[in-house]
Structure 1
Amino acid sequence: MKVEFKMFLIIGVFFAVMGSIYGHFSSWDEPVGSVGLYLSAGLCALIAGFLWWTGRKIDLRPDDDPMGEQSDVEGDYGFFSPHSWWPLFLGASLAIVALGLAFGWWLVMLAVPFVALASIGWVFEYFHGEHSI
């Protein structure tokens, strides 16, 4: 948790400094940028405070050890299909949905069935054919 706490603390300080610089150079006439940067600093401080508070209560993780090895991390990472084409089709379909949000709803309506088909294909990939469970 120490690495994450420090990261959010540094980013929060950066946002606070940039908010002051932005406000100074805009003569505080345009408040939206400064307010947005200060709110971002506050949210980073909120997350950093949560991580610090939680990090005090739990034991050190293998990630927190500077001399830690990859083998120190326990647990199963899960099964990832090595030869699956479905993530590619799902990503392409979602890219078309995103383009449809920018260009027109008709493109979203055309892409939604492909998103559904790719999602179903990915979920049920090992329930048919020679790889069935």
Structure 2
Amino acid sequence: MKAEAWIFVITGVFFTLVSPAYWVITNDWTGTSALVMTTFLAWMIALYLGFHASRMDPRPEDRKDGDIVEGAGELGFFPPYSWWPLWCALCLSLIVYAIALGAWWLVIIGFGLGAIALCGWVFEYYRGEHAH
């Protein structure tokens, strides 16, 4: 993780230099505040990755003598296709549309359907074809 930490350190240094320069050149509050928040985010991620990189054993890609074979094996669980994100997005769009119309009864229906869709998305790998 040291390589990733260095990438975010370089990004943090860049945004630390660019943020005050942007303020001096444009005198724009909106862009300056976005750049300052981006700076803090880059430094936060760099600090997190650097903290954990110093406390864990180096990965094969972090060592000079690391070999490709050492990184082989199980990388994790990658889910197959799922229809539940579509239903969650449709429920959210129904809620936003209902708020724009002022139809609060439709907002309640959207939240109810959204709760069902979210539960289906969360628990889809506990039953059916892809259960484990």
Confirm or deny a common fold (TM above 0.5). Answer: yes
Matched with 2:56 is 58
Alignment equivalent of 2:39, drawn from 26, 41, 51: 41
Matched with 2:117 is 118
Q: Please report how far the alpha carbon of residue 118 of structure 1 lies from its aligned counterpart in structure 2 after TM superposition.
A: 1.4
Q: Please report how far the alpha carbon of residue 58 of structure 1 lies from its aligned counterpart in structure 2 after TM superposition.
A: 0.8
Q: Please report how far the alpha carbon of residue 93 of structure 1 lies from its aligned counterpart in structure 2 after TM superposition.
A: 1.8
Partners of 2:115 and 2:56 lie apart in 1 by 41
Give the CA RMSD over aligned residues.
3.8
Q: Give the residue type in structure 2 aligned to 1:22.
A: Y
Please tell me whether the aligned partners of residues 62 and 72 of structure 1 are also in contact (alpha carbons under 8 angstroms): no
The secondary structure found in structure 1 opposite 2:112 is: helix
C-alpha distance 85-42 of structure 1, shift in aligned 2 (>3 A): closer
TM-score normalised per structure 2: 0.63
C-alpha distance 16-105 of structure 1, shift in aligned 2 (>3 A): farther
Matched with 1:92 is 90
Cα deviation code 1:69-93 (max 9, x no counterpart): 6962536526x354x4233212322
Cα deviation code 1:11-45 (max 9, x no counterpart): 2122212212212213xx55564455335324422
Please tell me whether the aligned partners of residues 62 and 73 of structure 1 are also in contact (alpha carbons under 8 angstroms): no
Please tell me whether the aligned partners of residues 96 and 111 of structure 1 are also in contact (alpha carbons under 8 angstroms): yes
Greater mean deviation of Cα atoms: 29-38 or 10-19? 29-38
C-alpha distance 59-113 of structure 1, shift in aligned 2 (>3 A): same
Q: How many residues align?
A: 127
Q: Please report how far the alpha carbon of residue 4 of structure 1 lies from its aligned counterpart in structure 2 after TM superposition.
A: 2.4
Partners of 1:45 and 1:118 lie apart in 2 by 36
Q: Give the residue type in structure 2 aligned to 1:121.
A: G
